Structures are given as C-alpha cells and as structure tokens.
Structure 1
C-alpha cells in the first residue's frame, strides 16, 4: 500500500488498482467542524484534477478534487450520517471515495508523506 498527497490537501492510498481518497488532517483542521460531505456516486468517471466531492464546515465549503483519474467504486456512506468522522479520523475512517485507477502514471506527480509535511510547513 502506498500513500500520496496533493498540494490541494487530498491524500490517496493505492492498493493494487484501487485508490482510496480523502482530505488530510491538515485540511480538516483548517476547515474546522465539518457539518456536511457530498461524495461522488458509484460509476462516476473522474478526470485528474476534477471536482469530485464537496465538504462543508462551519467556516467554509470546499471542493475535493480527484488526485488521479478513474471510475468511482463507492463513496463513504458513513459520512452522510456522521460528517464529523472527517474531523476525528481524516486519514482513516473519514475517507471520501474509492476509485479504480485509470492511469498509474498520474501518481508520479504526487507527493510522498515527507514532501507533503515539508509543503505544509512552508505554508
């Protein structure tokens, strides 16, 4: 399993041909208390960089972008009833969606954890 990060504060965990996507702990901290999450429907085809989900907090609404292209396998239905899961476990149970990977080459432009942490420190 490999985990990558984007400069838009999404994380993507790759296992075989399936990727799980969510927002980073840093992102949820910036948003504050999350009150609503809209995830993409299964079967949706996403392009890299395309808006894929929406997260709303008491502070702001924000788009979540697809770090890579692929077809959505499932959205995290638990977030519908408990959007605060993103606050309590952003990089675990608070995942947003899973998708099949269209092109593994798109992973090459993403950061590893050390690079992401350095990026966050520079903000």
Structure 2
C-alpha cells in the first residue's frame, strides 16, 4: 500500500503545477489505485493473471505471501468409521477390511466435479 501512496504523491503533486506529462500519468495511477481497491490487483496483475490463468497480485506480496497463489493440494479422503460393540472404529482406507461393514456417515466421500472445479478454480 505504501507503494501506491508514493505513486500518488509523485503523480498528483506535479499535476497541480500543470505540467502536460502528468495528466496521463495521474490517470494511469488513479486507474491502478481503483484496480487495487476493486480487484485486489493492480492493472499489471490483472493482465498477468489473465494471461497465465494463475491468481497473482502485489497485494499478496504486501502480506508477505508469494506473488502467485499456489494450487491447492487434493483433499485427503475422510476416515471410514463403523460401529462396533460400544465404540466407533475409524480406518483411513476401507480397502484394508475384508468385508467392510456399513459406515456411520451417510455422506459422499469425495467432492463432485463441480465442487472440485470451484475449489481449484483459477483467476478470473
């Protein structure tokens, strides 16, 4: 954010003096500031993210993160849990059981293709 404040001071201060080159520079700086506020990316980041398909932003650098967001790793499978006498047993894989009893959870164990596409989406 400090970068943008310095940019605004450097661009708008000479604009008050009426030099002809400062008007386009001030317009670009203003558009860049609006881009950061609206998209959390400056104009270069919007173009770069669109070209590469990755989520890249100087705002991430300001937070101490990498310039481009790393892809999320695949989600692990949830544990497979069954009832026994008085307790619940859970396994990481039902394939190790010779004849797996019905599980406790009545839910899907994996994301649907739409959910996975949303989870791993790229920008924009």
TM-score, with structure 2 as normaliser? 0.20
The structure with the largest alpha-carbon Rg is: 2
Q: Which has the higher contact order (CA 8 A, sep 6+)?
A: 1
Which structure has the highest helix share of the two? 2
* Higher fraction of strand: 1
